[in-house]
Structure 1
Amino acid sequence: MTVARSILLFLLAALAEIGGAWLVWQGWRESRGLIWIAAGVVALGLYGFVAAFQPDPNLGRILAAYGGIFVAGSLAWGMLVDKFRPDRYDLIGAAICLVGVAVIAYAPRSS
């Protein structure tokens, strides 16, 4: 249950951070206005809170593992929202990052 909860929290964090950055991008770069930017700032703030609910007490480990989720999630967001087509090197890189997530976050450790 702890691993499933952790994965869900990583996915929620990615949604908040990537979605927030996308909203800011849309507000500024695509001239959609301050409401989009403000919504992005709120989403980015929520991202910070989500990490606090991770079961591991080590922020450095959580952020390091989350980095791999961010990489893969960013490519997925681009595919779903912006119709970006990653090439094989993007996909290989994301897979390597996800292996890193598994090693950092879920490897058995001695106390």
Structure 2
Amino acid sequence: MAVLKSLTIFLLAGICEIGGGYLIWLWLKEDKSIWYGIIGGIILALYGIVATWQTANFGRVYATYGGIFIVLSLLWAWKVDGFRPDRYDIIGALIALIGVCIIYYAPRTIQ
């Protein structure tokens, strides 16, 4: 259950960061209303809050989030922008995801 909870938090954080960043991108690069930027900034601030809900330390959380962000970014680009990841994108994302799962979920002994 703890793994499912942490994955849900990572997913929510990813949606906040990518969604907020995307709205700012649209504002600055696609000449959308300033409201896109304001709402994007608010959502990015929420990302910072959501990430603190993880139970591990800052370094491990952010290292793990980096790999999850790679996967979520490719999925967002595919579903929202019509970008089609190629096999190298998928292979690289899977390698990153395996690596961060080892970092975050590997059993550790108390030292």
Q: Distance in 1 between matches of 2:103 and 2:39?
A: 32
The aligned counterpart of 1:29 is 29
C-alpha distance in structure 1 between counterparts of 2:98 and 2:27, whole Å: 34
Amino acid at match of 2:50: V
> Counterpart of 2:79?
80
- What letter is aligned with 1:81? V
In structure 2, list runs of 5 or more residues that go unmatched: none
Structure 2 CA distance for aligned equivalents of residues 93 and 21 of structure 1: 22
Q: Residue 60 of structure 2 aligns to a residue in which SS?
A: helix
**Cα distance, 1:41 vs structure 2:** 0.4
Deviation at 1:62, TM superposition (A): 0.2
Unaligned runs of 5+ in 1: none
Partner of 1:67: 66
Distance 2:17 2:103 in 1: 20
| Displacement after TM superposition at 1:8 (Å) | 0.1
Residue 51 of structure 1 and its aligned partner are, at CA, apart by 1.0
Alpha-carbon separation, structure 2, partners of 1:68 and 1:80: 19
SS at match of 2:44: helix
Aligned residues: 110
CA distance in 1, matches of 2:109, 2:43: 36
Counterpart amino acid of 1:87? D
Q: Which residue of 2 aligns with 1:51?
A: 51
Contact kept, 8 Å, 1:2 with 1:55, in 2: the verdict is no
Q: Distance in 2 between matches of 1:43 and 1:28?
A: 16
TM-score normalised to structure 2 length:
0.97
Q: Give me the whole-angstrom Cα distance separating, in 2, the residues matched to 1:60 and 1:11.
A: 18
Q: TM-score, normalised by structure 1?
A: 0.97
Question: What's the CA shift string for 1:59-102, capped at 9, x where partnerless?
Answer: 00000000000000000000010010011110001001110121
